[in-house]
Copies of this chain bind each other. A is one copy, B any other.
Amino acid sequence: MNPTIDLLNSHRSIRAFTEQPVSQEIINTLVSSGQSAATSSFIQACTVIQIEDKSKRSKLAECAGNQKYVEQAPVFLVFCADMQRHKLACEMHDEEMMSGFTEQFTTATLDCGLFAQNVAIAAESLGLGVVYIGGIRNKIADVSDLLDLPDLVYPVFGMCIGYPDQAPEVKPRLPLAVVLKKDSYINVQDSTLMADYDNIIREYYRSRTGGNKEMSWSEQISGMLTKEARPHMLSYLQSRGYLLK
């Protein structure tokens, strides 16, 4: 429909990068674009930590389940939900911040999501490739220590950025009819639509792996969601001052 929408629709995660460096000027441009995203009640609750230190990169790659590209990517950013500076703002006016509300966790986390998605799009518009790294939450307490995060700051996800050295296909998404509803949540026919979609994803994996992987979306999801999901998250977040009430 236009070049920006074409860009959005051509997103795929990039996990292999050329050695071409990305200048600090470009990184600053990306982060500024991130700041331009909407922010809940203007809280601006996202802080980005750019990881240059090789030994920290290597430890982060390990925390993320040995994802080598965390070490190898020209740029690795950690997006943190940050309400520490709000505590400071309150102190500047001799006020005490009321923290710990689930609502605050939600808005600070969403601020990071909107911010990071702008960074991703800005990067892709410059011919760079990106991949989000949720895996740093595997060992989120270690990551927090490594980056000296104070209370009220938690690492939401990382992002590898660099010039692509691979050209994977775009992965087909759920049918529009499953994700767009009118006036009410009606899930009639969702299982029929999902079965059709399962066939599409099975074919996508088959063609991408030369027949070595055959898995539908519902199989993949059911395999994943019958296991515990990072059960340490709640106690970790509470220890940082989030989700206390």
- List CB contacts (< 8 Å) of A143-180 with chain B: 147-150, 153, 156-157, 170-171, 173-174, 176, 178-180
Q: How far is A217 from B104 in the complex, measured between Cα atoms in Å? A: 17
- With A101-B230, A194-B89 as contacts: A35 and B121 at CB distance below 8 Å: no
Task: Provide the residues of chain B in CB contact with A114, threshold 8 Å.
Answer: 113-114, 116-117
Q: Which residues of B contact A117 (CB under 8 A)?
A: 37-38, 113-114, 117-118
Q: Which of A66-74, A92-100, A206-214 contacts B (4 or more CB under 8 A)?
A: A92-100
**Complex-state Cα separation, A194 to B48, whole angstroms:** 17
Contact B89 A181 (CB under 8 A): no
Q: Closest CB-CB distance, A189 to chain B, in whole Å?
A: 12
Distance of A166 from chain B, by nearest CB (Å): 16
CB contacts (< 8 Å) of A190 on chain B: these are 85, 88
Residues in B whose Cβ lies below 8 Å from that of A131: 38
Decide yes or no whether A19 CB sits under 8 A from chain B. no
Count of chain copies:
2
CB–CB B92/A226 < 8 A? no
**Residue pair B237, A179 in contact (C-beta under 8 Å):** no
With A117-B37, A117-B114, A226-B97 known as contacts, the answer to whether A183 contacts B9 (CB < 8 A) is: no
Q: For the complex, what is the distance from the CA of A194 to the CA of B44, rounded to whole Å?
A: 12
- For A230, the chain B residues whose CB sits under 8 A away are 101-103
Complex: A56 Cα to B176 Cα, angstroms:
23
Enumerate 11 A-B pairs (CB-CB under 8 Å) in ascending A order: A4-B4, A4-B125, A8-B37, A37-B117, A50-B183, A89-B221, A92-B218, A93-B218, A102-B243, A110-B112, A121-B121
4 A-B pairs with least C-beta separation: A113-B113, A4-B125, A89-B218, A103-B230
